[in-house]
Each structure stands twice: as structure tokens, then as C-alpha cells.
Amino acid sequence: MATAMPTLRRNWLVTMRAYQWTYFVGTLATGILTVGLAYLAYHSIGGGRAGGGFAAAAGTADYLGYVTVGAAASMFTVRMVLWVAKAQITEQREGTLESQVLAPARRLPYLVGVGLQSLTTTVVEVVVMLAFAVMIGVRLPAPDPVTLLAAFVAASVAVFGISVPLSAIMITAGEAHITQNTLFVAMGLLCGFTFPPAYLPDPLRWLGEALPVTSALRALRAATLDHAPLSAAAPDLLLCLALGLAYLIVGLRLLGPAERVAIQRGGSA
């Protein structure tokens, strides 16, 4: 915690002083317009109904609720990944990566500090998006609070987990734009944010299952749309946690070599 708290505090100060409205508006717009698109399609094309075996594939007949939870989760994922995975490459660009590597602090607490701080702002942002959804008439049934909390924790671990190897890739490549957007676009297709992954061809579905966000989404939907008790969501929660931790461990292993590559490149440039 000796590293996590100061990092949290530093990022909090930076966020409060220079809040990046552009990023926020961008991800908020994506969330709102995704829900908006589903809403319009549902009413003017579907006539207020969803077909094509949606209920069977999705585990719920509530198309708008399904998309809304997915859009909120997508916004959460994108914002958290942007914060955590880009923390180190931002330090690299600002020239502070070397002083960070020089300090005896370990990587994990540093990234946890970044993650905890971003969690606070991200939750507020997601709430703004959900408020919009409720405003246009999306109804989310009263969720099971225990399952929801557990799913939220699992989703946080999942997103944090995938951010760490991503950070290693970014500082190794010295590039964030292609890496992050490729991940976002791929997750959009594979993880079931806006449609049931059962629609996908099998190989793609398995690929989606390898990402912890997919099981996190199932648990979140079980909690919000199905009012599922903790026991019912447990398999997904455990899968999500296990995958998230696996990504985290692999990521932490990769960070050391990645930092060396980054600093070497910085030195030769």
C-alpha cells in the first residue's frame, strides 16, 4: 500500500486539475449511442420485440436491458483499460518511466493505485450513461445486491488483469493507439457486450471465452437482469477471477523485460 496510496493520490490530483473531457465525452457518446441504436432498432424495426432465438441465446428476453448492461460494461472496460494499460506508456512519453523504474517500488502496487483511482472516476461516468438509458425508458429490474457487488469486483479484477499485459505490449511497441483500439474492437465482437456470443462461429466464441470480460458480463447480467443469487453466478465469477488473475500474473512477468526494452529504445533514440 506504500506505493498504491501515493499513486492514487497523485493521479487523483492530476485528474481533478486536468480532467480529460474529450476521452469522457468520447466513451460516453459510444455508450449512449449504442443504447440509442438498440432502442431505435428495437422499436422501429423489431416492433418492440426481439427474435432470432435471442432469449435462448442471451438467457433473457429483455433486449434493451441486455444491450444497456453491455454498453455500461463496455464503457467501464474501455475507461479502465485506458487508465491502467496506458499509465506506463504515458510515463514513458512524459519521460518519467525511467525514474519510476529506478524507484524501488514494485509494479503491482503502482498499478493498483492507478486502478483504484480510475475506478472512482469510471463509476461516476458509467452512472451518467445508465441515467441516460433510464431516461429514454430502459428498465433494469432491481438487481441482487450481493451478486452485483461480487460481479463488479470480478469485472474489476478481469479488466485490471488484461490491462497489465497490455501495458507491457504498449511500452515494448512504444505505441498505444493501434494496440488499444484493436483490443476494444475485438472485445466488442467477442465478449458479448451488445449481442449473445452464441451468435458467433464456435472458434470466435472460444476466443471470447479466453477473455475474462466475457464471463464477467454473464455474471453482471445475471445480477442485474435475472436477479440471480450468488450461487447461480458463482461458476462465471470464479472463471472470471481465475482468468483475470492469470492475465495479471503473466502481465507482471512481462513488465520487467518490457521496461528494459522501452528504456533501451529510449536511450538509443
Partner 1 sequence: MSAALRVFAAEGLKQHRRIFGSKLVVFSMLLWPVLTLATTYYTVLPVTSAPGAAQRWPLVAEPGRLLAFLAAGALAYTFFFSLVQSAWHFSFERVSGTLEAMFLTPASRMALVLANGSSALVQNAWLFGCFGIAAALATGSLHLAHPGMLAVAALALLVPAVAWGAFLNSLLMFSRDSAFLYTLLDDPLWFVAGVRLPLFALPVWVKAIGLAFPLTTSLTVLRGALLDGRDTGELAGHLAFLAGLSAVLLGLTAVLLRVGERHAQRTGSLQLF
120 binds partner 1 (CB under 8 A): no
207: contact with partner 1 by CB under 8 A: no
Grid cell of 245 as nine digits? 488473475
Residues 41-80 that bind partner 1 (CB under 8 A): 41-42, 44-47, 49-52, 54, 58, 63, 67
- CA pair distance 95, 47, nearest whole angstrom: 55
Residue 112 vs 190, nearer CB to partner 1: 190
- DSSP states of 31-66: HHHHHHHHHHIIIIISTT---TTHHHHHS-S-HHHH
Q: Decide if 151 contacts 219 (C-beta within 8 A).
A: yes
Does 132 bind partner 1 (CB under 8 A)? Our answer is no
Query: Within positions 171 to 190, which residues make up the interface with partner 1, using CB under 8 A?
Result: 177-178, 181-182, 185-186, 188-189
Q: Say how far apart CA 194 and CA 67 lie, in whole Å.
A: 5
**Minimum distance of partner 1 from residue 163's CB (angstroms):** 20
Q: Would you say 1 or 45 has its CB closer to partner 1?
A: 45
Distance from chain centroid for Cα 207:
17
The answer to whether 35 touches 71, Cβ cutoff 8 Å, is: yes
Binding site for partner 1 (CB under 8 A): 21-23, 25-26, 29-30, 33-34, 36-38, 40-42, 44-47, 49-52, 54, 58, 63, 67, 177-178, 181-182, 185-186, 188-189, 194-195, 199-200
